[in-house]
Amino acid sequence: MTDFPLFLGLTTAMGLSIFLALPLVYSARAQGRWGVGLNAAAIGILMFLLADVFSDASHIIYPAGYVANAGYAAAFAIAFAAAFLGLLAVDSWPRRAGPERPGTGPLRMATIVAVGIGLQNLTEGLVFGVNWTLGNVGILAVVFVGFVLQNISEGFPIVAPFLGAPEARKADRLIGLYLLAGVPTIVGGLLGFVWSSDLFLVIFDAAAVGAIAYIMLPMLRGAFRPLETRAASVRRDRIVYAGVLVGFLIGFLVNAL
C-alpha cells in the first residue's frame, strides 16, 4: 500500500483523537468525590498501559517464550532506567535551583504523563506504519480503531492532575500537552512507513514504561495522602480503590475491542 496522503490522514486522526478527552477537565462534575474517582481511574488506565506496553516488548525480548535475548533485554533495561532517572532529574532540578515547593505541581505532573504517553504512542504509530507498508488491510482496520479508542482513554490521565487545580486549566497549556502526547503517533507512523526495527520498538517501549512508572508514584502518593480524619481517609480510599479498578478495566476493554 503506497497511498501516502491516505496513510498520513489516518495516522493524524489516530494521533489527534486524544483531544476527544479534553472536555472532561472542564466538566463541573470533575471535582470533589468525582474528582477523586476520576483521578483514581487515570491511575488505573496508566497501570494497564504499563502492563500493555511491557507485553508488547516482551514478545521481542523473549522470542522463545522463556529465554531472553540478551541484547534486547539490556536495551530495555538501559532505556527504562534512562527514562525513569531522566524524569526524576527533570522533576527535581527546578526545586533545587529555585524556591522550595513541596510535591509536584499539576503542570509538571501532566507534562511527565504526556511525555510517557507520547513515547507509547510513538510505538503505536510505528506498528501502524509497518503494517501499512506490508499491506495488512485487516490488521490495519483493527489497529486503527483500537488505537483511536485507546488514545481517547489515554487523554484522561493527562488532564487528571488539573482536576484539583482549576486555576491551572489554561487552554493553551492543555492543547500543548495533548500535542506532546498525540503528535508522536504521527511521527512513529512516518518512521514505520519508511523504516523500523525490533530494537527501535524495544527502546521506545522501555522508555514509555519507565516514564509511566515514574509518574504513577506521585499520583498514588497524592491519591492516598492523609485527610483530616481517619473516617474521611477510609471513605476516600474506597473511592480510590474503585476508581483504579474501573480505570484498569476501561483500558483492558478498550484494548480488547
Whole-angstrom distance, CA of residue 45 vs CA of residue 33: 18
Instruction: Report whether pLDDT(162) > 90.
Output: no
pLDDT in tens, 12-53: 998 998 888 777 666 656 566 777 887 788 888 888 888 888
Q: Is the pLDDT of residue 155 over 70?
A: yes
Residue 81: pLDDT band (50, 70, 90) is very high
Which helix (H) or strand (E) element contains residue 191?
A: helix 171-194
Looking up cell 513515547, which residue turns up?
119
> Containing domain of residue 23, as a range?
4-256
| pLDDT classification of 102: cutoffs 50, 70, 90 | very low
Burial class (CB in 10 A: 0-12, 13-18, 19+), 38: buried
Number of domains comprising the chain: 1
**CA distances, 71 to each of 74, 141, 157, 246 (Å):** 5, 33, 33, 37
pLDDT of residue 96 exceeding 70, the answer is no
**H-helix or E-strand containing 144?**
helix 137-159
